Amino acid sequence: MSTIQFPNQTGFYSGKVRDVYSIGTNLLVMIASDRISAFDVILPKPIPFKGQVLNQIAAFMLKATEDICPNWLLDVPAPNVSIGKKCVPFKIEMVVRGNVTGHAWRTYSSGKRLLCGVMMPEGLKENDYFPTPIITPSTKASEGHDEDISKEEIIAQCLATENEWNKLSEYALALFERGKKLANARGLVLADTKYEFGKIGEDIYLMDEIHTPDSSRYFYEEGFDARQVKGEKQKQLSKEFVREWLIANNFMGKEGQVLPEMSEEWIETISNRYIELYNKLIGEAFIHNKLSEAETFTLTQNSITKFM
């Protein structure tokens, strides 16, 4: 439970990574913690500066895509804090995939070709590009695992109307196209990512984080084609290396499995990988800025006052 209590606070929710505070009826404060999750499980030790990296990449990317669709962000008063508009969330994640990798590849390599109602073409190797990006949505679980779901199931379960689905799809694909261009300009390939949306009245808003290493998978563009031809493993900047470490240690979040120990050296490696992605993606050196809880509270409260 959080030790922070803001004036006019009307609610609090602690997610896998972010602590979310409702202020009044129309504001949210999101504090990105240094917690790290994989396979929908929070790992036992925090990763230094991870929250700051996620928050600042998300803020950069929200600003760089605000011409595509409205988003929730109003201010970033502290390194790991964002303040924005409170939306009624769609209980789905819009997962956009440009390459067959991660969960898509695990599905594909098992022999299946249908993923979330989308038919994947034959003849693909791991990390190959899809002919065009595909949307493979998942449910947004408040507890436990997110589950794959199709467009038809989303509409049938009233998670979105057909018109809303069409707008969500349009936004997601346009955001992914912009994300690819931003990544390409920095020598990276945006392989896949997820977006979350909500509504204020009848208007759809982009929420939460976008194009961060927690929500996205990036490959290095240099040498990508040559590695594909040779069947070599792609160099990537994302959280996938943490998932791969867990899988190698026999953990995929399933019942009865035990989380492996995290050494200090491994924690430092993870932290450095997050900072490396920030430097590469933003094109500026990461500034380590660890504020106290009191300093964070003061800066955040001053910002809240501006929007009340």
> Residue 41 belongs to a domain with what CATH number?
3.30.200.20
Confidence category of residue 292, pLDDT binned at 50, 70, 90: confident
Q: Is the pLDDT of residue 145 over 90?
A: no
CA dist 193 and 273 (Å) reads 18
The answer to whether residue 154 is domain-embedded is: yes
Residues 6+ apart with CB under 8 A from 83: 27, 28, 29, 30, 73, 74, 75, 76, 77, 300, 303, 304, 307
Confidence category of residue 265, pLDDT binned at 50, 70, 90: very high
The answer to whether residue 41 is domain-embedded is: yes
Q: What is the pLDDT of residues 190-202, one digit of tens each?
A: 999 999 999 999 9
Is 159 strand, coil or helix? Answer: coil
Instruction: Examine the domain organization and report whether 117 and 189 are in the same domain.
Output: yes
Instruction: Examine the domain organization and report whether 200 and 75 are in the same domain.
Output: no
Boundary residue ending a domain (226, 241, 256): 241
Instruction: Examine the domain organization and report whether 236 and 101 are in the same domain.
Output: yes
Mean pLDDT confidence for 36-64: 93
* pLDDT at 141 (0 to 100): 65
The answer to whether residue 185 is domain-embedded is: yes
Query: Which of the 8 DSSP states describes residue 14?
Result: E
* pLDDT at 2 (0 to 100): 60
Burial of 243 (0-12, 13-18, 19+ CB in 10 A): middle
Q: Is the pLDDT of residue 206 over 80?
A: yes
Instruction: Examine the domain organization and report whether 237 and 99 are in the same domain.
Output: yes
The answer to whether residue 253 is domain-embedded is: no
Cross-strand pairs, 207 = 196
Instruction: Examine the domain organization and report whether 110 and 224 are in the same domain.
Output: yes
Mean pLDDT confidence for 296-307: 93
Q: Which domain holds residue 25?
A: 9-88+274-307
Instruction: Examine the domain organization and report whether 17 and 99 are in the same domain.
Output: no
Confidence category of residue 296, pLDDT binned at 50, 70, 90: very high
Is 267 strand, coil or helix? Answer: helix
Residue 181's closest CA among 211, 222, 214? 211
* pLDDT at 97 (0 to 100): 98
Instruction: Examine the domain organization and report whether 79 and 208 are in the same domain.
Output: no
Boundary residue ending a domain (190, 224, 241): 241
* pLDDT at 236 (0 to 100): 85
Q: Kind and range of the H or E element at 4?
A: none
- What is the pLDDT of the chain when averaged over all its residues? 93
Per the rule left: phi > 0, alpha: psi between -120 and 50, beta: everything else, 100 is: beta
Q: Is the pLDDT of residue 272 over 80?
A: yes
* pLDDT at 1 (0 to 100): 45
The answer to whether residue 37 is domain-embedded is: yes
Is 121 strand, coil or helix? Answer: coil
Instruction: Examine the domain organization and report whether 100 and 180 are in the same domain.
Output: yes
Residues 6+ apart with CB under 8 A from 273: 213, 237, 241
What is the chain's length? 308
* pLDDT at 237 (0 to 100): 81
Residues 6+ apart with CB under 8 A from 304: 6, 7, 8, 23, 27, 29, 83
The answer to whether residue 219 is domain-embedded is: yes
Q: At residue 111, what are phi and psi to the nearest 5 degrees? A: 105, -10
CA dist 14 and 275 (Å) reads 24
Confidence category of residue 40, pLDDT binned at 50, 70, 90: confident
CA dist 214 and 257 (Å) reads 23
Q: Read off the CATH number of the domain in which 217 is found.
A: 3.30.470.20
Instruction: Examine the domain organization and report whether 171 and 223 are in the same domain.
Output: yes
How many domains in the chain?
A: 2
Boundary residue ending a domain (241, 265, 288): 241
Instruction: Examine the domain organization and report whether 199 and 69 are in the same domain.
Output: no
Instruction: Examine the domain organization and report whether 216 and 289 are in the same domain.
Output: no
Cross-strand pairs, 194 = 95
Instruction: Examine the domain organization and report whether 120 and 56 are in the same domain.
Output: no
The answer to whether residue 147 is domain-embedded is: yes
Contact by Cβ (8 Å): 82, 58: yes
* pLDDT at 209 (0 to 100): 93
Mean pLDDT confidence for 63-72: 98
* pLDDT at 34 (0 to 100): 94
> Which has more pLDDT, 235 or 223?
223
Contact by Cβ (8 Å): 47, 57: no
* pLDDT at 143 (0 to 100): 57
The answer to whether residue 258 is domain-embedded is: no
